Structure formats: C-alpha cells, structure tokens
Amino acid sequence: MSRTARRYLTALAITATSVWSQSIMAEPHDKPETRITIAANQYGLLFEDEDTSPEIQEIIASDITLNLAHLKHVQFRAISRARTEPSQKYLVTATHWLDEGKQSRWFPEPMEKYFGGAVEVGHEYKLIVHRQLIEAYKQALQRKEQHPAMFSSLPEFLALLQDRAKLEALARDKQAAEARIFIQGEPPVKKERLHKDLTGYADFTIRRPSVLDIVPLGQLMGDPAVENVFVFSTLVTNKGGKEDDEIKIPLGAYKDGRWQIWVAQMP
C-alpha cells in the first residue's frame, strides 16, 4: 500500500472516531429517574420491562403515588435469606420489602399481588415495578382509550357526590334518584330508602379511584354474561371522624353512558 493510501485511510479512521465520540457525548447517559412519593418522601422506581415508555412510566408513577397517598409512614424491611418468597416474585432480586406497619393498604388487586419489593441502592431504596403490574396498567390504559367518555365524565360524578345541595335536590326527586342508583344483588336497605340516603356521601372525602380499580363488573364477578357495566371502589374518609377513619367502598357503576351510584350486595 502506498504512503498516500495509508495517509488517506488514517485520515478516514480519525474522522470516524471523532464523529463517533461526538455522538456518544451528545447522547444522554443518565435517563431522568421516574419517582413516586410516599408519606412526603420520594423513591425511585425500577421497571422490570425496560421498554416501558417514559410516558407510561410517569402515568404508572402518578397512579402508584395516588394509591399510597393515605399512608402516613413507611419503612423498608430487609428480606432475610431464609425468606426468599418475596424476592422470587421479581426478575430483579428484591433486598427489602415496603412495610406500612398496621396501616391499611387498600391497594388495587394488581398492586396487592405485585408491588412492595425494593432494592437498596447506596443510601436509598428503589421500588420494583413488576412486569405483571406494568401489564395490568397497560390494560387499564387501553380500557381508558376505548372508553373516553367514561373517564372524562368521572370527575363530574365525583363532584356530585361531594355536593350536599345537589344530593339533597336529587334525593327529593325519587325518579331521578333511582335512575342514579345501580343496585347489584340485594341492597343493604329497602330500595325505597336508598334515594333518601344520598346526602350521606357528602359526609365523606372521596378519593379519585385508581385506573386499576375501574374494571368490568363481569370480570369482578367472574361472570362473562355481565357486559357493558364498569364499576369502581375507592377510598373514602369520614370528614367528621378520626384522621384514620377511612375505608374502601364500592361507589361507582358506569352503565348506558352515565355514572351511577353503585350499591353492592352486602356480605
């Protein structure tokens, strides 16, 4: 090979190396970490499915924060080597477990099954988002896309349940009140009394339901014959009660294009 050819190839190699270096330097090496808030403290999330888009990660983080909003304090309990069951749930080996103590969890079912494992990284904990939990969120978000009117009308329904004056007006109109009630099974009180008790909802602070809690009634009942009815349970807190006077109750049913008050059969 001639001296000129060698110089030419050397120049090409130097140029290529320079371009490659510049492109690497231009790329962000550290992606912004998706974080959640629990009891006024922030924690990072580790998604088992690394292909989860940043947009979906933020939606999941926001909803997880909502589901943990009632917790006043948490700690992370080390998982002993002898107790391997929690860590076996994850692709990432969990070193700790989210411990809420004696506080009620009130989690949606997918979170109850697939959330709580954490990894200690340096001096902080990162919570693992299980691949099955990611899938549950993707299905819930797909449901939201398929039923936009159901989700867009939800804030108005929740606002109604917090407005004593509107509930009192509704209770005085028996026909309108009964049209706003969806009864599943045997009601806890006589049907004719239900519309008179509507104002009681205004005594509670009602939390917006998690996207995971809005599910087909047929799925919840295990009865595929029940179609085109969606329901949700959510956390309510007695405004005049103790700070921890809270419970998760059946509340909303979406049928025939409108939200109704879901009155479920009592056990």
Mean pLDDT in residue range 50-69: 96
Label the pairing between strands 41-47 and 124-129.
parallel
Mean pLDDT in residue range 76-91: 67
At 143-172, the pLDDT tens digits run 999 999 999 999 999 999 999 999 999 988
What DSSP assignment string belongs to 123-146?
TEEEEEE-HHHHHHHHHHHHHHHH
DSSP state of 199: G
Tell me what pLDDT residue 257 has: 95
Residue 209's pLDDT band (cuts 50, 70, 90): very high
At 106-135, the pLDDT tens digits run 999 999 999 999 999 988 999 999 999 999
Helix axis angle, 154-162 relative to 164-172, nearest 10°?
90
- Distance from C-alpha of 247 to C-alpha of 66, rounded to nearest angstrom: 15
- Distance from C-alpha of 171 to C-alpha of 173, rounded to nearest angstrom: 5
Tell me what pLDDT residue 264 has: 73
- CATH 2.40.128 assigned to 147-264: no
Residues of the chain with pLDDT > 70, as a percent, come to: 78
Residues of the chain with pLDDT > 90, as a percent, come to: 59
Mean pLDDT in the chain? Answer: 83
- Distance from C-alpha of 90 to C-alpha of 113, rounded to nearest angstrom: 11
Residue 34's pLDDT band (cuts 50, 70, 90): very high
Rg (CA), the chain: 26
Tell me what pLDDT residue 177 has: 87
Domain boundary assignment for the chain: 35-134, 147-264
- Distance from C-alpha of 151 to C-alpha of 254, rounded to nearest angstrom: 10
